Amino acid sequence: MAKQINVALIGNPNTGKTSVFNALTGLNQKVGNYPGITVEKKEGICKLPKGLKAHIIDLPGTYSLNASSLDESVVIELLLNQQHKDFPDVAVVVTDVENLKRNLLLYTQIKDLEIPTILAINMADRMTYKGIQLDIPYLEKELQTKIALISTRKNKGIDHLKELITNYKALSTQACLEASEIDKPYFEGLQKAFPNQLLYKLWLVITQDVNFGTLERQDIDAIQDFKTKSKADLKRLQQKETIKRYQFINNTLKKGQTIDLSSAKDLRIKLDRILTHKVFGYLIFFGILMLIFQAIYDWAELPMEFIDGAFASLSEWVKASLPSGAFTDLVAEGVIPGIGGVVIFIPQIAFLFLFISILEETGYMSRVVFLMDKIMRRFGLSGKSVVPLMSGTACAIPAIMATRNIENWKERLITILVTPFTTCAARLPVYLIIIALVIPEGTLFGLSYKALTLMLLYLIGFVTAVLSAKLLNNILNIKSKSYFVVEMPNYKLPLFKNVALTVIEKTKSFVFGAGKIILAISIVLWFLASYGPGDQFNNAEEIITIEYANQNVSEDDLQQKIAAHKLEHSFIGITGRAIEPVIKPLGYDWKIGIALISSFAAREVFVGTLATIYSVGSDDEDTIKNRMAKEKHPVLGTPLFNLASGISLLLFYAFAMQCMSTLAIVKRETNSWKWPLYQLVIMTAFAYIVALIAYQVLK
């Protein structure tokens, strides 16, 4: 059995760390969350020379070991915990050749922890373009390490990096500089008090608010008690440490790096002037968004129709091939549609993450964040929140997954909680039927009332999301430091491999993460709709056949009426009847109650449920609309669906959390059932109150 070592990839954001990870691991990688927290954990396997295997851990991007975020705390906790199963045998610090000075601060700190460390200088293909020359032997000597000069774009230097990882035991663990010289008496006293501990580790325990698994609890308390300096003094010492490190880095790069500025050819400044312009910047961004969502609708439509048709055909084939009975019904009507309900989202998710990945790879996403931050921050959101909120118009599921780009936990959580308010594609079938049914013909400023109603529903959703974010920002008692630091990386052509791997990983993450929950709830809903107590359900065929014996009813119509009768007396139908007193003040009857419950599986199920209830034999919107238009109020005899009940239903669907898929993905992204349950209760209650007011006022 080949020996396996742990390799930690560490580096500043935008140094190409993910590209290095992809180059080393390829498809042998998986993405999850660190236990108990929502910071993404990427790990993979890499085959090395001499039959060695490396377990590669891609740690979150960090600028230094002075933690200011949850992501950075994860890095420090792992590097200080030698008992952790992922503690690295060797650390690979990935740097960007154009920002070597800034990147080396983190490198010198990791060297102080006496971990064998390799310096990987990425984007080497840009050296000639930028007029950069490096004296590698000199830098290796001064930095006490081995250097791999790599270009993931040109696939150069990766084999050399693998060789250095293989021979990690030959690396020096000596520090680059004596950081303790910033206050010798203090550090000497600290070392005397704890002679068996590494000095720099002690310093990090004192200055950082993170958990340390390497030290016993009493040792940590003892070290904390050693804080003979105030917080202000410790902060000043940290600043002194940073200055000392940069002095060492500057002296090293004076001889080890040469930059000929005259040969640098850079369009970045000109592009930034346009793309971050206070007027044109927003117009370009919204233009790009419109193109993306149009492409998502157009490109995803065909594969989604194919998937829908394929699973419907598969269900029919199973019914025809297997012997009739409960098991066949479960597979054909519960399991297969449940899996189909997961798979049908794949095209939208894949296309959305394809575009997001391209925007990130090119460096444009950082400009968008910079542009939007000033506006979004007023509502307790981040500039990065704009992407999920806009993505939510296609589907809330990939939109919520896109919040992983938001580093600040509070801002990310608020974005996750409010994104479902934005009008997604699944609401459209509901809106189109109700609008066609209750909104009169006519125009205003050249636009039809129906088109204006649809536009208003989209606008209401977005405004509610933003205002809810403002409210949550004031209510949520979450301590979360928020600094707006965004790095403007250089513009570059996206790497196909990185884009492809991102799309595959995000799609896989949804299918295997949320898919299990969606499938389980689909089977439960199928059971409730397929079974019922008493003779009315069990003898439905006989009852309906006798009832329509003297009428000229076709076989198909008869089967539809039997299905409708069964549904009414099934467990879900009984539930619909049971909740009728609750939904009656909104202008709904028990039939709409069933549609409300069943559409929890997915909002678009509303249409199919109505088709079954009203025995129309198809999901054609006009047919259902005509049948609904004939429905009369049981007491008043007036049309059941009028302007008041129609607007009430539209507003209910605009605000209610009628989507188990979204709840499943929120649970996965927040690592807790608490937040999705809050969403379900609060959004449904809000939807009920708004729908109630609308109906009572308009009736």
For 163-178, what is the mean pLDDT? 91
Candidate from 247-251, 297-301, 351-355, 630-634 with smallest mean pLDDT: 630-634
Rounded to whole angstroms, the Cα distance separating 338 from 344 reads: 10
Mean of pLDDT over the chain:
81
User: Exposed, middle or buried, 361 (CB in 10 Å: 0-12/13-18/19+)?
Assistant: buried
For 259-278, what is the mean pLDDT? 73
User: Exposed, middle or buried, 52 (CB in 10 Å: 0-12/13-18/19+)?
Assistant: middle
SS3 539: coil
Candidate from 123-127, 567-571, 577-581, 635-639 with smallest mean pLDDT: 635-639
What's the CA dihedral at 690, 693, 695, 699 to 10 degrees?
-160
Nearest to 3 by CA among 54, 72, 75, 61: 54
For 193, the token pair is 């008090």
φ/ψ of residue 277, rounded to 5? -65, 145
For 179-204, what is the mean pLDDT? 85
Rounded to whole angstroms, the Cα distance separating 578 from 483 reads: 51
Please check the confidence at residue 225 and state whether its pLDDT lies above 60: no
Sketch the domain layout of the chain as residue ranges.
4-170, 180-240
Confidence at residue 617, expressed as pLDDT on a 0 to 100 scale: 42
CA neighbours within 13 Å on the CB side: how many for 268? 13
CA neighbours within 13 Å on the CB side: how many for 655? 21
Confidence at residue 618, expressed as pLDDT on a 0 to 100 scale: 46
For 521-550, what is the mean pLDDT? 80
For 594, the token pair is 């069933």
SS3 650: helix
In tens, the pLDDT along 118-165 reads 999 998 888 877 788 899 999 999 999 999 999 888 888 999 999 999
For 628-637, what is the mean pLDDT? 67
φ/ψ of residue 345, rounded to 5? -80, -15
Nearest to 121 by CA among 108, 134, 138: 134
φ/ψ of residue 651, rounded to 5? -70, -35
> E strands within 59-101?
90-96
For 227-239, what is the mean pLDDT? 80
Please check the confidence at residue 521 and state whether its pLDDT lies above 70: no
Q: State the pTM of this model.
A: 0.62
Check residues 491 and 35 and name the one with the higher pLDDT.
491
Confidence at residue 220, expressed as pLDDT on a 0 to 100 scale: 53
φ/ψ of residue 262, rounded to 5? -65, -25
For 472, the token pair is 């949550």
Confidence at residue 616, expressed as pLDDT on a 0 to 100 scale: 44
Q: What are the contacts of 557-565 at 24+ separation with CB within 8 A? A: 557/615, 557/617, 560/612, 560/615, 560/616, 560/617, 561/615, 563/612, 563/615, 564/612, 564/613, 564/614, 564/615, 565/536, 565/540
Please check the confidence at residue 621 and state whether its pLDDT lies above 70: no
For 646, the token pair is 């129609």
Please check the confidence at residue 608 and state whether its pLDDT lies above 80: no
Please check the confidence at residue 523 and state whether its pLDDT lies above 60: yes
For 412-440, what is the mean pLDDT? 82
Strand partners, 447: 444
Is 4-170 a CATH 3.40.50.300 domain?
A: yes
For 585-590, what is the mean pLDDT? 86
Nearest to 529 by CA among 469, 599, 465: 599
The answer to whether 414 and 465 have CB atoms below 8 angstroms apart is no
Confidence at residue 111, expressed as pLDDT on a 0 to 100 scale: 93
pLDDT band for position 217 (cuts 50, 70, 90): very low
Rounded to whole angstroms, the Cα distance separating 629 from 624 reads: 9
pLDDT band for position 615 (cuts 50, 70, 90): very low
Nearest to 14 by CA among 97, 84, 88: 97
Confidence at residue 168, expressed as pLDDT on a 0 to 100 scale: 92
Rounded to whole angstroms, the Cα distance separating 532 from 483 reads: 57
Strand partners, 122: 96
For 171, the token pair is 């690396």
Check residues 650 and 634 and name the one with the higher pLDDT.
650
The answer to whether 53 and 66 have CB atoms below 8 angstroms apart is no
Q: How far is CA 640 from the centre of its chain?
A: 41
Rounded to whole angstroms, the Cα distance separating 617 from 556 reads: 8
Which helix (H) or strand (E) segment is 44 a member of? Answer: strand 40-47
Check residues 372 and 422 and name the one with the higher pLDDT.
422
Rounded to whole angstroms, the Cα distance separating 60 from 20 reads: 14
